[in-house]
Chain A
Amino acid sequence: MEATIFETHYKEYCRQIAELDFSSIKDRLGIELRGRDAVIPFLDKEYIVSDTGIADESGKRPNYMVCVILSKYLLLCLHALCCFKNRPRTILILNRLL
């Protein structure tokens, strides 16, 4: 059983993601929007990120590591748009995460 801290962090990521306007980062990341949900391809899978959480193609929440990577992908992009004009820096951060 996972420690409760992971659930706490997951909820915090979801809270931050719920504040995101996906349409503002959609073109930067080349992601698809389905209604209010973002569809993020990652390796050979697609994940759905929404106000209510993160799910894989079957609707199940992926493991914690994957949730963190997907959250960072969205949140750091917004951060990069706000703080940097240099998009490649975001990619470097993500590559380190990977």
Chain B
Amino acid sequence: MTDVYEKLAKHLDNLPASYPATDSGVEIRILKRLFTPEEAEAATALSLFPEPADVIAKKLGKNESDTESLFYSMSKKGLIGRSGKKQNRYMAANFIMGIWEYHVDSLDERLVQDVNEYIPQIWEKTWAKQNTHQHRVIPVSKSIPVEMNIMPYQKAESIIKQQSKIVVVPCICRKEQGMVGHGCDKPLETCLMLGTNAVFYEENGIGRSISQEEALEILNKGIEAGLVLQPSNSQKPFVICMCCGCCCMVLKNLNKMDEPAKIACTHYYVAVAEDECTNCGNCEDICQMGAIKVGDRSAKVNLARCIGCGLCITRCESDAITLVEKEESGKYTIPANTVEQYMKMAQERGV
């Protein structure tokens, strides 16, 4: 008989964001830390279609009220998703982004160590091979030339101004890295949850609800601190992450690659005007990808590493760096919404 945790691991691996098996079995250890056997079994009855408890109870052959109580408790613990206005509906949650991030307020050191062992393996087995990633990179507004036409979903300020609900949550990457002695001094309260995702966080008591104005202030502080803007990968993102190259699970793994620009979801890169560059090194200091370095006479951009975040432009005192939009043929198609993003991810994985 298949172990219930192995069954759950396979179930999570059938979701768009993956949960691949490893030789060490760390993925099973993680599930055992998070789910009781009963919760693990119940979670395997859920799909990405949010369903009310009575429907799921029939599948499980269980009593409706016990099922409602179990799933509500699981959704409050961040093990599954919950939505619905008139009645609660329950659905499967990806491990990342999903279950892991929902645990930002309930991390323990052993869980963090296991997840840190596991994430590089997810990266290698799945994410690095996909065209559609969980995040995309958008340039900071100060880096966008006035003559460049840019879609509203490529500007963090425009995305924020479209939201009726925003919840700010501590960055799980910097928080967990801090817990195991590898943190940095960049701001912690920076993850902006948007729309229905923000409602879920608020109802679960994670983070705090903020106004658009405060979100814009947090955004500016993040940019000032040198954080890369990474919304989830659709035109209607459910989160804007602000990431550092040292802690972020995405940037950290991208940084290990020789040519991260090839797989990062971005429409931009930067160019340096050598005649105007004073070779001061500010750009090199701020770049989270090691993509720009001072040279003999001017800074040089390694286009294989530049992900077009535009942070270097905000630090250039001689206006020598310019944001450049890729040719149409070099751009990837940004999914219209989260559903289409996940469908593309699932299709690319063949699940």
Which residues of A does B touch, CB under 8 Å?
Answer: 27-30, 40-45, 62-63, 65-66, 69, 73, 87-88, 91, 94-96, 98
Contact = CB atoms under 8 A, between A and B. Distances in A.
5 contacts: A29-B49, A42-B50, A63-B343, A66-B343, A69-B343
Interface of B: 11, 14-16, 45, 47-52, 54-55, 58-59, 83-84, 89, 91, 195-197, 238, 336-340, 342-344, 346-347, 351
A40 B340 contact: no
Contacts, number: 72
B51 to A, nearest CB: 5
A30 B48 CA distance: 14
Contacts of A40: 49
Given A41-B84, A41-B89, A95 B343 contact: no
A66 B84 CA distance: 20
Given A43-B338, A63-B343, A95 B11 contact: yes
Nearest to B342: A43
A15 B71 CA distance: 36
Give the 10 A-B residue pairs with the shortest CB-CB distance, closest first.
A30-B55, A65-B343, A30-B52, A41-B50, A30-B51, A44-B196, A95-B14, A43-B339, A88-B59, A87-B59
Given A43-B342, A63-B336, A65-B344, A95 B47 contact: yes
Given A62-B340, A63-B343, A98 B47 contact: yes
A61 to B, nearest CB: 11
